[in-house]
Structure 1
């Protein structure tokens, strides 16, 4: 759906990281964890392209002017360029144009498995919506969050309020254990688990190889630059597991993903 939305709140969580809540149609409440939206920052032609953001949360709120529940959608984002800088300047009541929900989301797996979530930076965004869905069906969920420093660790309190057991690692040791989050993850991997990961490509590659070594099913949500979000421009392709110079095998992140089984992709 393409729809006009209104900013409800736009809060800075830590330096350069923001959490934005916007109004949404009621139908968006059926969106899946791992899906994403494309957001048009301004009505002008600069910047021209929409920006993709994972769904951090979808829920309902009570408006002041009536008693009817209304739907909202939330995103996490980091200010890295002109588009996100303009986004950070929006306030309550500002209008915005959205295209959502897009892509294929996470498959929740079998009941009774321990669900392991692994995220870095804004890669934590789709994992919160996923955690809510898993907790709602009674699953045991653990979160492993990593970043360069404490400013990159976002919304841990929200995960803990859901009852999710959390582990944190930072490169400089300013929060949690010092080192890569994959080093902490490896200490806790075992049988009867399923991994869901989102974050930088090097982290996802390391998690994928680790999951394969331990025989643990793993789904990854990829971050990619997107122009259209619907598979038309082919600007966000990723080599598939069978890719070679002789037999090209590409997967379109926006249409075939952004969530993939880790064995579907070529990591080397």
Structure 2
């Protein structure tokens, strides 16, 4: 769907990181964890392209909090990294934005009873919150492994803990949680009967995928890529698939074939 959405709130949750809540049509309540939206930052042609953002949360504000009628909302987390996200950070309550949503493939929660391990780095924590919310609602046991360069990159941990998610935090410089890489913490908790869901920088996802294969643990990864269209038309966000060679190319569109993939679908070398 393409629709206009009103900004409800836009709060800086950590230096350079913002959490934005927007109104949404009721149909968006069917959005699944791992799907994303394409947001037009400005009505002008500068910047021209929409920006992709994973859903941090989708829900309904009860009538008593929404001015007399239930109101569906969607939330995103974003980091200010360029002109588009800088403009986005200046939006306030009442401003309008243009969205395309929901897009892409979602996470597959897998069989009930498995322990679900969520692994996120920096802004990669965004789609994992919505996933954690859905898994906890189904009675699943969920653990979160959050990593970043420093404490400013560890986002919304309190929200995960309020869901009842057991959290493990690590930072490269040791300013919050353990000192070191999040993959080092994850490695100590891997065993058969568990399932990994990861989102973050590609080097982190590569390490998680290799680790999951070694421990024979199913692993799904949500990939990040520059997207122009969000629907697979421009082919600007392709990644090599597992069978890719120069003689027999095998490419996957992050926006259409993903952004969530089973880790064995992609070529990591």
TM tier, shorter chain?
over 0.9
Whole-angstrom CA distance in 2 between matches of 1:65 and 1:56: 20
Residue of structure 2 in register with 1:152 after alignment: 153
1:126-156 per-position Cα deviation (integer Å, ceiling 9, x unaligned):
0000001100110000000000000000000
Residue of structure 1 in register with 2:86 after alignment: 85
Residue of structure 2 in register with 1:96 after alignment: 97
Note the C-alpha offset of 1:62.
3.6
Residue of structure 1 in register with 2:259 after alignment: 258
Q: What is the alpha-carbon root mean square deviation over aligned residues?
A: 0.8
Note the C-alpha offset of 1:189.
0.6
Residue of structure 1 in register with 2:15 after alignment: 15
Whole-angstrom CA distance in 2 between matches of 1:66 and 1:151: 35
Note the C-alpha offset of 1:265.
0.1
Whole-angstrom CA distance in 2 between matches of 1:164 and 1:88: 29
Whole-angstrom CA distance in 1 between matches of 2:9 and 2:67: 19
Whole-angstrom CA distance in 2 between matches of 1:121 and 1:175: 13
Whole-angstrom CA distance in 2 between matches of 1:62 and 1:51: 29
Whole-angstrom CA distance in 1 between matches of 2:84 and 2:163: 32
Whole-angstrom CA distance in 2 between matches of 1:159 and 1:14: 16
Whole-angstrom CA distance in 2 between matches of 1:237 and 1:202: 17
Residue of structure 2 in register with 1:165 after alignment: 166
1:43-84 per-position Cα deviation (integer Å, ceiling 9, x unaligned):
000000000000000001146674321100000000000000
**Map 1:240-259 → 2, pairs under 5 A:** 240-259=241-260
1:68-116 per-position Cα deviation (integer Å, ceiling 9, x unaligned):
2110000000000000000000000001100000000000100000000
Unpaired runs of at least 5, structure 2 = none
Moved more, 114-123 or 66-75: 66-75
Residue of structure 2 in register with 1:76 after alignment: 77
Note the C-alpha offset of 1:191.
1.4
**Map 1:76-225 → 2, pairs under 5 A:** 76-225=77-226
Residue of structure 1 in register with 2:24 after alignment: 24
In the TM superposition, structure 1's runs of 4+ consecutive aligned residues that sit over 3 Å from their partners are 62-66
Whole-angstrom CA distance in 1 between matches of 2:31 and 2:245: 35
Note the C-alpha offset of 1:23.
0.3
Whole-angstrom CA distance in 1 between matches of 2:130 and 2:76: 10
Q: What is the number of residues matched between the two proteins? A: 268
Structure-2 change in CA distance of 1:121 and 1:65 (3 Å): closer
Residue of structure 2 in register with 1:56 after alignment: 56
Tell me, what secondary structure is at the counterpart of 1:18? strand
Tell me, what secondary structure is at the counterpart of 1:216? coil
Residue of structure 2 in register with 1:43 after alignment: 43
What is the TM-score normalised by the length of structure 1? 0.99
